[in-house]
Amino acid sequence: MDVRVTGRGPAEPFLSSRDLLATEYDLDLPVVVKIRENPDERTVAGHYDDRHELLVSRRAATSAMARELALHEFAHMARYEEEHPSHLQSTEEALFLALAGKSVERRKLSHCYQIANHMKDIYADDITLDIGPTEKLVAFMESSLARAVADSPPSAPGEWERWSPAADPDITAVNAAFALALLERHDAIDDDHRLYDLAHAAAADAPDVSLSTFKRTFRSLADDPDESEYRKALVDVTREYVLDEGPTQRAAD
């Protein structure tokens, strides 16, 4: 696995992540990491015929989560190379299938893209949590959700999913469900962890969102779905969020 780091910033987190990923996975294409000065832009990964590119701010590259962030992005690249349906499915196509003929608020539509990214992240982080330590990720998710529930100032850009604490309560509740589902998929959290209290606080602020439904949906995603199965899962979760027409009943709450 060939990783080349350019720009003003440390190469070690990216090389360390390369070595960790290589214990179980490999990338056929080389990875070019470009560290840039702008701290306000999100980390961006691109896939080309001859390489993968990872654009990352210097702030993110020097943060305590730098190695974990790099491993997360490398895992996305691995899923892309193996042509996993989660990384090939067009989000626009799935949203069209789910919402055709419906009038949808702009904020809800933007949230649907975040939910689709959560679905992709589940599969990427099935790799990262399988081969890497989980303590930092658990702590990061706890602090991010605590800030979101408390509506405190935003966290530094370039950190994992980068939830906005000012996001409205509906998507904050979905974010909480995603965090719990991911960690439960890998037995990375105890039943009495503070994340559960924070998630229920987020759910209390979003009575129209079923925390248990979204957690169950994310947690139970099939390990190796075919294209049709994955598309249906994405359509169903979109309808659940926007139209309350998902495959499960919110009475489960």
pLDDT score at 43: 79
Domain ranges of the chain: 3-65, 85-252
Instruction: Collect all residues with Cβ–Cβ distance below 8 Å to 166 and sequence separation of at least 6.
Output: 151, 154
pLDDT in tens, 87-116: 999 999 999 999 999 999 998 999 999 999
| Mean pLDDT per 10-residue section of the chain, whose length is 253 residues | 93 95 94 86 84 93 92 96 96 95 91 95 96 90 90 44 60 96 96 96 93 96 96 96 64 40
Residue pair 241/199 in contact (Cβ under 8 Å)? The answer is: no
CATH number for 3-65: choose from 3.90.920, 3.30.160, 3.30.70, 1.20.1250.
3.30.160
pLDDT at 118: 96
Burial class of residue 226 in the structure, from the number of CB atoms within 10 Å of its CB (0-12 exposed, 13-18 middle, 19+ buried)? exposed
Report the C-alpha gap between 82 and 130 in whole angstroms: 17
- The predicted pLDDT at position 40 comes to 62
Angle in degrees, CA 77, 66, 12, rounded to 5: 90
Look at residues 54, 110, 103, 98 and name the one whose alpha carbon lies nearest to residue 80. 54
pLDDT tens for 220-247 read: 999 999 999 999 999 999 999 998 755 4
Structure tokens that stand for 182 in this block: 């991911």
pLDDT for 39? 62
pLDDT of res. 37: 86
pTM here is 0.87
